Amino acid sequence: MIKEKYMNEIKKILITGAAGTIGSHLTDIMLEAGYEVHGIDNLSYGSMDNLNQAINHPNFTFFKDDVEFLYRSDARFHQYDVIYHFASLKKVWDGSIASTTVMTSNFKMTQQVITKAYSENSRSSILIFASTSDIYGNSKTFKEDDDITMGPPTNERYSYALSKWHSEQYILNYIKEKNLQSAIIRIFGCASPRSNKYWSGGHIPYFVTLALNNEDINIHGDGLQTRSISHSSDIAQGFKQAYDNFDKIKGTITNLGTNQQTTVKYVAEYIVNKTKSKSKINYIPSQEVFGDYKEILIRFANTEKSEKLLNYTRKYNTEQVIDNIIKGFSN
């Protein structure tokens, strides 16, 4: 654990992507714990509604700006003890964002938060970097120290995973070469009523939105591919535990998520039944959507490390996550 004396010195935290689903939950958690929190978000994915609880808190300050231009934001005037970096352009599959933009913007953001965190002349900030389980591809174990196999670069859908993998290596190099105080967290699927209701929020919030509107739900492939979905508040609590136990994970990669697997088909059927929706479930061949992208057939979070080092636990199972989102989206 971080020494009590050091903990008592901690006053100020910067959360990038603070209006997103995980960032906003973490903002609430850290404010409740007594920290001063600054949030930055350009609101391209996040929403100020997610910060309703935080916005009037005396210890919260919000900056609407792009993280890749952090040097121009008012946040540049502040010294932070901890920086959580969640802001990111999302995975590409519908053509709405250029793959080159995803790769360049995500790396520029990483460079900016490292520049903000690292100081040669004074005590550096702790940087906790949010990465993605997409890096694992079709892994069998999802262990943090396993070899990673990426698909062919001819398929642009790998752009998001590669942007995160590149940032991970850059951070690890900075840790080794300049003693950057940092740790990397790979996030597996998560959602909450604060999630974006469209594709960028993940398949569960998107399916719930469609079901509540009695619109067809399209599944890529046969729907038997498994995913692991936990509640975003559980993930956010894990990020707080990552800071509380930073000395145990400094310089390493750690997973957060759930090892409960549910098929995409099961989730769609569960949502349709729970909402009493008239939505039809359609199955579209994956190749029509993703081309030669090798569909990830099995995904679960291997949380052995986080459970051991962070005492990481989950309050919600996947069905409870879905129920919570249905309730939230119905209000």
Task: Determine, yes or no, domain membership for 100.
Answer: yes
**Three-state DSSP state, 10:** coil
pLDDT over threshold 60, residue 330: yes
Q: Are 136 and 93 in contact (CB under 8 A)?
A: no
The tally of domains found in the chain comes to 1
Helices 318-330 and 203-212 meet at what angle, rounded to 10? 40
pLDDT of residue 93: 60
* pLDDT of 8 above 60: no
Does 272 map to a domain?
A: no
Tell me if 268 is assigned to some domain.
no
Q: Are strands 182-187 and 253-256 parallel, antiparallel or unpaired?
A: parallel
Average pLDDT of the segment spanning 271-300: 86
pLDDT for the residue 289 = 63
CATH code of 307's domain: 3.40.50.720
Q: Which domain holds residue 33?
A: 4-195+232-258+302-315
Phi, psi of 295 (to 5 degrees): -60, 135
Residue 324 near residue 316 (C-beta atoms within 8 A): yes
Per-residue pLDDT, 3: 40
Query: Closest Cα to residue 258, out of 322, 301, 315?
Result: 301
Residue-wise pLDDT for 45-101, tens only, equals 999 999 999 999 999 999 999 999 999 999 989 999 999 999 999 876 666 788 899
Report if residue 294 sits inside a domain: no
Q: How many CB atoms lie within 10 A of CB 330?
A: 10
- Confidence category of residue 292, pLDDT binned at 50, 70, 90: low
* Residues of the chain above pLDDT 90, percent: 80
Is 58 a domain residue? yes
Pairing of strands 12-16, 226-227: unpaired
Helix (H) or strand (E) holding 15: strand 12-16
Higher pLDDT, 88 or 7: 88
34 lies in a domain? yes
In the prediction, which pLDDT does 97 show? Answer: 84
Q: Output the pLDDT for position 138.
A: 86
293 occurs within a structural domain: no
Poorest-confidence range of 8-22, 191-205, 240-254, 314-328? 8-22
pLDDT of amino acid 5: 40
Residues 107, 134: Cα–Cα separation, whole Å? 16
- Whether 188 shows a pLDDT value over 60: the answer reads yes
Considering the domain boundaries, does residue 137 fall inside one?
yes
pLDDT bin (cut points 50, 70, 90) of residue 41 is very high
Whether 298 shows a pLDDT value over 50: the answer reads yes
Average pLDDT, whole number, for the chain? 92
